Structure 1
Amino acid sequence: MTNAALDLREMVVFLAATGVVLPFMHRLRISPVIGFVGIGLLLGPGGLGRVSDLVPGIEYLLITDRAGIAILSELGLVFLLFMIGLELSLDRLWAMRVRVFGLGGAQMIATAGVMFGLLLLAGLPLPAAVVVGSALSMSSTAIVMQMLTERGAVGSRLGRSALAILLFQDIAVIPILVMTQAFGSAGEQSVGLDLVLAAVKASLAVAVIMALGRLLLRHLFRMVIATGIRELFLALVLVTAIGTAVLTETIGLSLALGAFLAGLLVSETEYRHQIAVDIEPVKGLLLGVFFVSVGLGIDLDRVIAAPLLHFGALIGFLAVKMAILLVVCRVVGLPKSVMAELSLLLAGGSEFVFVVVGLATGFGLLTNEVSSLIVVVVGLSMLSAPTVGVVARHLVPRLLRNETPVPDLPPEGEDGHVVIAGYGRVGRAVGGALREAGIPIAAVDADALTVGALRNAGIAIHWGNAIHRPLLKRLGTGRAAALVVTMNDTVAAADVVRVARAEWPDLPIFARAHDAQHARLLLESGASKVVLLPLEASLQLSEAVLSAVGIPEDLAHAITSAERDRQLSALLPPAGR
């Protein structure tokens, strides 16, 4: 009973600290990752625990149950890797393959090679230098993409170059995990053999899991969605992520590898965006526990005892990564302004370093002293990322004011696409016309049977409820040329229009209305233009009759257009649009 109460108390402390720290971090536009690490540092033995003997009652504010936190942090690790896999769309990779495998591959190989050499010189054994050097070459996708999104630069040359590098780094997750596992279980004389065996075992496991997943997963999701029980859908998502992770651990591989493969499997289905929205709260809290455990593992006594070592290592780490990025960008021919900003943005470390360091330390590849140093350096580099991003944004243009402007890249991927909410008869007609015109679409529908049938017919469509703002964001609505709402549910259609208009005031929103009352509701909700289907049918009939009785086609079209304007004007609010 006492242990249970203690566990609940520490969970309450964690949730309370999260509620205080995260809004503060959000206001400062700092990644929540830094907030969670800070919570662990503050509430752990290296923070307030240092004065627990001096301040009565402060022990009730501490997190001391590292075993309990470790269990929850493993679940956080599972969801971190699951989300990395979920975001790694194969279609996205193929569309950007030249830059991903060119620019991204060059950056990863060059940085990992240099880091490997430096770590060997610093005295790390070869296995540790390989896995840690590879992990240190990675950057935080969450932090970098957040900064680019806030400044609206995701679709720019800078944003796409950063995305290409980050995507390749995500691909590298599997080989790094396999290497860590192999080196950790290898004997002194069989490192090479164990690495080969681990690679073969991982390859077979990946092949089997991916094959079975593709055969079964989509059908399971369709069956569950057909029940209409949303809790059952979320349960299947959790079983997919955690179950695959447990499966890979059972066959001698890591939890992280299984979670990553589960994310990859789901990323190929029409449910990926809705899944990402539904598990966001669960993922956020469990990831928070994982990063809190990272903070708990930071030994402040070592930092205080050797501040020059830690901050010198930080400066050296950032300088090396920036220098390598500059060279790679120069070789591939990026403009100087992009080179400078990109090297500053991607100089920091990645959340994945914490995963690798934790695994390597558990396997005995790293000592506690070395792992603590790496965690502190990477954590500080991530903490400095927002400041570095602001400096890059304002300083680089001043330093390169005489540079000849370089035209940006043409639109690619989802930029300039049209989002269609509701893909029934009308939505399909609109989507077909857009595709014929060469305009990309991102369609979403809440009917699983419709989505499944269209997917089988080769049409890229996602399942989900468009009323969720996060889902609209994941469909790229903020970068879209327009939003088309053709949902059958009149109230839901108006809610989608209202949500989209509040989030993106300048977005053109076109909506289909069933009747005059529905049209008025859509206009009041913020639709730019409403098409009233009964009216359009009657106007087409009228134009055909006018032409048949001898009225010239141009005049007949003008008459029906004027009638359309008159009818729609009558629907507008008295003072409004």
Structure 2
Amino acid sequence: MPEAIWISFAFVLGLLVKGIGLPPLVGYLAAGFVLTGLSSVSDITAEPTAVLAHIAHLGVLLLLFTVGLKLKLRSIISPEVIGGSLLHFGITCVVFTPPLFWLLEVDWLDAFMLAVALSFSSTVLAAKVLEGKRELRAFHGRVAIGILVMQDLIALVVMSLAAGKTPSEWALIVFGLPLLRPLLYKLLDASGHDELLTLLGLLLALVLGGLGFESLGLSSELGALVFGAILANHPRSQELSKSLWSVKEVFLVGFFLQIGLGGMPNQEAIVFAVVAALVLPLKGLLFYFLLLAFRLRARSSFLTSLSLANYSEFGLIVASVALPEWLIPLAITVSLSFVFSAPANRFSHAIFERVAKKISRFESDKRHPDEQPISLGDTRILVMGMGRTGTAAYDWLVPNEPRVMGLDSDPAKAEKHREQGRNVVFADAEDTTFWEGLHMPELNSVILAMSDIEGKLIAARMLRKLGFRGYIVAHTMYADEAVKIREAGANDAHLTMNETGVALASHLMDRSEAHHQMAQVRNPV
């Protein structure tokens, strides 16, 4: 049974690469190539089947649907997203086409289509890496996803032109999809918190989004993304995303396995992939300087560019339509870019710290919405991370200490809190430039309520480095993380579930004590 062999190899190699600090998806890619190699010298079956292809496709649809659930339309309709994506596409095609024509001895159309395929960045890899670091809602994460969505739209146009097909006349129906939002909201509210919620997500992502858009002659991937985006503003959108997490992760294993099982490359394909990998830094540099031109800060430009410095699975789709003979070389190219890009993005913040002084001199002096505060004013208590935990802490503190400020790395979330009357501003704790020159004359306490451990560690270290001697407290789910947070400089780190249990017990004791006092009043001795 080939599926059993695939699962076994994927698990073993995924576990191995995770042990050396790489994302498991690199192991899944390697598993596919190893199986392909073993099939030539043994009886192991490594031919990708229709079942695996279907599972892989479902994984991509679910990933894009969950990305859509976290996507705000205004993060796409911005100069840096539209201008950056279109300019990068145009410049890449102009620069890459002549060398490909001369070096590969292909005609101009094939050279141009290869340049188009290499111009795209991987939505699957970038979204998965950003999601794993919980940076999809950070400013640079939303810019990266916006550019990827624009690239996907460009790819759809290119594929339609290459295939000589046009969308159905019924495709205009999609412009009326926002009218369905009230109905979809009611369905989401009525689905509860169990399996019906997961089924609703599968229905919207795979049936209405995937199959529905395909029937209109449009991309199923775009359909899944659109239906996710329609629900992005619903209060339970993140609960829906979490309910699909495990299903999506399992299906995505099939996607990465399928790439590796596509076949062993010949020498020419390997040379092509290696050369394409060597020019990846140029792709990232072009994104970097284009984003700087749109007045993004050096850090936002760098992190966005690094997440886009890879080649795309959409390039393979374009090749399958226009350049089928180049499918294997492009598959190796995409896979090799994943191997380089995944670990680089894992250490993106540390890399930026090392190169910040050298590359920040290109930064524009003009202001941009992602610019962060340089003074906390008379703030006495700082709450970093305004999710559910941070918001609860903020609301509890304000009646007793009005000089409280909240910080969050999502500008849209910060704006929403301000509309509700809270003193919350945009700031990214993982941005070392935020800490440089930060003025906090009255600050005496800090609550680290960010969702990711990396942000808490950086914040604790930078606060102590700046000479802050006040009280720093954090929460975390795991005991080993609590130790790291204390070592980074925090006075204490409480385990979230333990504190929840203590809070419940204290409520019970308070109620018991009140009941006991009432009984004494009614029945005095």
Scaled to the shorter chain, the TM-score interval is 0.5 to 0.7
Partner of 1:82: 65
Deviation at 1:383, TM superposition (A): 0.6
Give the aligned CA root-mean-square deviation in angstroms: 5.2
After superposition, the Cα gap between the structure-2 partners of 1:243 and 1:131, relative to the gap in structure 1 and judged at 3 Å, is farther
* Shift in Å, 1:68: 2.6
For the residue of structure 1 that corresponds to 2:388, the secondary structure is: strand
Which residue pairs with 1:548 in the alignment?
A: none
Matched, 1:50 2:40: yes
Compare 337-346 and 375-384 and name the one that shifted more.
337-346
State the distance in 1 between where 2:269 and 2:117 align: 26
Percentage identity across paired residues of the two chains: 19
Query: How far apart are residue 357 of structure 1 and its match?
Result: 1.6
* Aligned mate of 1:374, from 323, 330, 335: 330
Aligned-residue offset at 1:347: 2.7
| Residues 22 and 405 of structure 1, relative CA distance in 2, 3 Å threshold | same
Q: CA 1:324 to 1:26, structure 2 compared with 1: closer, same or farther past 3 Å? A: same
Equivalent residues in 2 for 1:309-388, closer than 5 Å:
309-315=272-278, 317-325=279-287, 327-328=289-290, 331-332=293-294, 346-349=308-311, 353-358=312-317, 360-361=319-320, 363=321, 365-368=322-325, 370-386=326-342, 388=344
**2:1 is the alignment partner of 1:18:** no
Describe the SS at the equivalent of 1:409.
Answer: coil
> 2-side partners of 1:533 and 1:292: how far apart?
54
| Matching residue of 1:308 | 271
* Counterpart-to-counterpart distance in 2, 1:80 and 1:145: 8
Alignment partners' CA distance in 1, 2:298 and 2:395:
45
- C-alpha distance 117-459 of structure 1, shift in aligned 2 (>3 A): farther
- Partner deviation per Cα, 1:33-78 (whole Å, 9 max, x = no partner): 322222221113xx101112xxxxxx2x433352332222222232
Aligned with 2:147: secondary structure? Answer: helix
| Unmatched segments (≥5 aa) in structure 1 | 1-8, 53-58, 187-193, 443-454, 461-472, 483-495, 525-529, 539-577
Letter in 2 for 1:110: I
- Residue 154 of structure 1, CA deviation: 9.2
Number of the residue aligned with 2:251? 286
Matched, 1:276 2:241: yes
Match of 2:151 among 166, 172, 176: 172
2:207 — aligned with what?
Answer: 243
* Paired amino acid for 2:213: T
Distance (Å, rounded) in 1 between the aligned partners of 2:300 and 2:500: 47
3-state SS of 2:22 partner: coil
Q: Give secondary structure in 2 for the equivalent of 1:267.
A: coil
Query: Relative to structure 1, is the Cα distance of residues 25 and 120 closer, same or farther in structure 2, using a 3 angstrom cutoff?
Result: same
Query: Which residue of 2 is the match for residue 499 of structure 1?
Result: 477
- 1:307 and 1:256 map into 2 onto residues whose CA distance is 29
* Deviation, structure 1 residue 431: 10
Q: Flag the 1:262–1:392 CA change in 2: closer, same or farther, 3 A.
A: closer
Alignment check: 8 A CA contact 1:210 1:265 kept: yes
d(CA) in 1 for partners of 2:21, 2:92: 28
Please state how far the C-alpha of 1:269 moved relative to its aligned partner.
Answer: 2.0
Rounded to whole Å, the distance in 1 between the matches of 2:146 and 2:254 is: 25
Is 1:22–1:35's contact at 8 Å kept on the other side of the alignment? Answer: yes
The runs of 5 or more residues in structure 2 that have no matched partner are 375-382, 410-415, 422-447, 461-473, 515-525
The Cα offsets for residues 109-168 of structure 1, whole Å up to 9 and x where unpaired, read as 533554466556653664894596166332567458848986x9999xxx8456524432
- Aligned-pair distance for 1:348? 2.2
Q: Displacement, 1:410?
A: 0.5
- Specify which of 177, 183, 192 is matched with residue 209 of structure 1: 177
Paired with 2:360 and 2:407, the residues of 1 have a C-alpha distance of: 34
2:187 alignment partner in structure 1 = 220
Distance 1:502 1:168 in 2: 37
Amino acid at match of 1:138: S
Q: 1:417 to 1:322 in 2, by over 3 A?
A: closer
Partner residue in 1 for 2:438? none
Contact 2:93/2:119, CA 8 A, preserved across alignment: yes
Residue from 89, 92, 111 that aligns with 2:92: 111
Asked whether 1:409 is paired with 2:366, we answer no
1:206-261: CA deviations, max 9, x gaps? 2133332x131110111121xx5x11111111111111211111222232222222
The answer to whether the 8 Å contact 1:73/1:289 transfers is yes
The one-letter code sitting in structure 2 at the alignment partner of 1:374 is L
| CA shift digits 1:452-498 (9 cap, x unpaired) | xxx9xx979xxxxxxxxxxxx9984655899xxxxxxxxxxxxx977
In the alignment, residue 209 of structure 1 is paired with which amino acid?
L
SS of match in other structure, 2:387: strand
Q: What is the letter of the counterpart of residue 38 of structure 2?
A: L
Do structure 1's residue 266 and structure 2's residue 231 form an aligned pair?
yes
Q: Is the 8 A contact 2:56 2:256 kept in 1?
A: yes
C-alpha separation in 2, matches of 1:441 and 1:340: 20
> Equivalent residue of 2:188, what SS?
helix
Change in CA separation of 1:39 and 1:431 when aligned onto 2, cut-off 3 Å: farther
Partners of 2:402 and 2:101 lie apart in 1 by 54
What is the match of residue 467 of structure 1? none
Are residue 34 (structure 1) and residue 29 (structure 2) matched? Answer: no
Matches within 5 A, 1:465-504: 476=451, 499=477, 503=481
2:46 matched residue in structure 1: 63
SS of aligned partner of 1:138: coil
The code of the aligned residue for 1:243 comes to V
Tell me if the contact between 2:72 and 2:232 (Cα under 8 Å) persists in the aligned partners. Answer: yes
Which residue identity lines up with residue 316 of structure 2 in the other structure? Answer: V
Aligned partner of residue 51 in structure 1, secondary structure: coil
1:565 corresponding residue in structure 2: none
Q: Are the aligned partners of 1:147 and 1:386 in contact in 2 as well (CA < 8 Å)?
A: no
Larger Rg: 1
Partner of 2:260, secondary structure, is helix
CA contact (8 A) 2:71 2:142 kept: no
Question: 1:410 corresponds to which letter in structure 2?
Answer: Q
| Cα distance in 2 between the residues matched to 1:217 and 1:280 | 20
TM-score (norm 1): 0.60
CA distance in 1, matches of 2:495, 2:507: 6
Q: Partner amino acid for 1:321?
A: K
What is the deviation of 1:270? Answer: 2.0
Deviations 1:75-107 (A, max 9, x none): 22322332332332336557xx45444555544
Q: Structure 1 residue aligned with 2:502, among 521, 545, 552?
A: 521
